[in-house]
Amino acid sequence: MRERRCRLRRRDFIVLASTAAILPLSVFAQHSKIPVVGVLVVGSPGSERFWQLFREDMRDLGYIEGQSIRFEFRSDQGQSTRLAELAAELVRLRVDLLVTWFTPAATAAKQATSEIPIVMALAGNPVETGLVQTLARPGGNVTGLAGVGAELAGKSVELIKEMLPTARRVVALANAPDPFSKPFVDRIQFAGKAAGIIINPVMIHTSDELELAFAAMEVDRPDAAIVQGSLPTKRVADLGLRHRIPMVSIIRGFVDEGGLMSFVAAEADMYRRTAVYADKVLKGANPADLPIEQPTIELVINLKTARALGLTIPSALLTRADEVIE
Q: Highest mean pLDDT range out of 94-98, 184-188, 190-194? A: 94-98
Q: What is the pLDDT of residue 4?
A: 45
| Pair 150, 182: CB distance under 8 Å | no
Q: Which helix (H) or strand (E) holds 7?
A: helix 2-31
Q: What is the pLDDT of residue 32?
A: 52
Least confident of 28-37, 195-204, 273-282, 287-296: 28-37
Indicate if the pLDDT at residue 31 is higher than 60.
no
Indicate if the pLDDT at residue 18 is higher than 50.
no
The CATH classification of domain 36-147+266-295, taken from the options 3.40.50.150, 3.40.1280.30, 3.40.50.1370, 3.40.50.2300: 3.40.50.2300
Per residue in 264-277, pLDDT (tens digit) is 778 888 899 999 99
Q: What is the pLDDT of residue 27?
A: 36
Angle at 23 between CA 62 and CA 283, to 5 degrees: 25
Residue type, 183: P
Q: Highest mean pLDDT range out of 68-82, 106-120, 168-182? A: 106-120
Angle at 26 between CA 23 and CA 29, to 5 degrees: 150
CATH entry 2.40.40.20 includes domain 149-265+299-325: no
Q: What is the pLDDT of residue 138?
A: 95
Assign 191 a pLDDT band (cuts: 50, 70, 90): very high
Q: How many angstroms separate the CA atoms of 56 and 60, rounded? A: 6
pTM (whole model) above 0.95: no
Assign 20 a pLDDT band (cuts: 50, 70, 90): very low
Average pLDDT across the chain, whole number: 87
Angle between helices 233-242 and 210-219 (to 10 degrees): 30
Q: What is the pLDDT of residue 151?
A: 77
Q: What is the pLDDT of residue 17?
A: 40
Least confident of 87-101, 151-165, 195-209: 151-165
Q: What is the pLDDT of residue 7?
A: 45
Helix ranges (DSSP H) in 164-264: 181-195, 210-219, 233-242, 253-256
Mean pLDDT of 301-326: 94
Comparing C-alpha atoms, which of 36, 39, 35 is closest to residue 48? 39
Indicate if the pLDDT at residue 90 is higher than 80.
yes
Q: What is the pLDDT of residue 123?
A: 84
Residues of the chain with CATH 3.40.50.2300: 36-147+266-295, 149-265+299-325
Q: What is the pLDDT of residue 233?
A: 86
Indicate if the pLDDT at residue 152 is higher than 90.
no
Q: What is the pLDDT of residue 162?
A: 93
Per residue in 220-235, pLDDT (tens digit) is 899 999 999 888 889 9
SS3 175: strand
Q: What is the pLDDT of residue 147?
A: 72
Per residue in 241-261, pLDDT (tens digit) is 999 999 999 888 899 999 999
Comparing C-alpha atoms, which of 129, 241, 220 is closest to residue 182? 129
Beta strands in the chain (DSSP E): 36-41, 70-75, 97-101, 118-123, 142-146, 169-175, 198-204, 224-227, 247-249, 261-265, 297-302, 323-325
